[in-house]
Homo-oligomer: A and B are copies of this chain.
């Protein structure tokens, strides 16, 4: 492999899946290495000593961490099939919404999945507000990126996980009725081959979510 791209990922990590999806959409050949996060490999610890997390991309022996940083790197290094818009203002908007998803929406969603009762209800309400803001951004467009899938769709496709995680945990924040535009967008996404190749089996994911919730519950007792 001339380009020597390795991706260290974990099947249930939406952040790993983002990088996989970008690699597939851009047609970059890569070797995938599944990490057992309860027993991290020496390679992961060597290449990502700061965060020790997946996804980790290694390109020609040079390591890169953080999914959003990796997406920009892929787009700057392999110019074909660009995922970021070309216009500086549109690029800025894509980055703004990506930050919104990672720094607002996902932390709120994590709070929901780790809480119960009143606190969980408040969290769900907050997720709804944030999803409404995001849905508004999608209004009138085929994809977040416009006419076809792009950077912000790759970042936002973490919302897939909301459905199966919601069903498994009994807290479905992303209902079809409440967010029809997001739902339509997901329907469009799953018709794309690369997206389908990156989907994780729903049942396996739901078992994973249930197990994690149980271990968190017993840890907090």
Interface on A for B, CB 8 Å cutoff? 50, 59, 62, 64-66, 68-70, 72-73, 76-77, 88-89, 91-92, 95-96, 99-100, 103, 133
Contact = CB atoms under 8 A, between A and B. Distances in A.
B50 A62 contact: no
6 contacts: A64-B96, A68-B95, A69-B96, A73-B88, A73-B91, A76-B91
A77 to B, nearest CB: 5
B50 A73 contact: no
Q: A62, A69, A76: which has the most chain B beta carbons within 10 Å?
A: A69
A89 B62 contact: yes
Contact of A92 (B70, B89, B91, B99): B70
Nearest to A60: B89
A211 B212 CA distance: 43
A65 B95 CA distance: 10
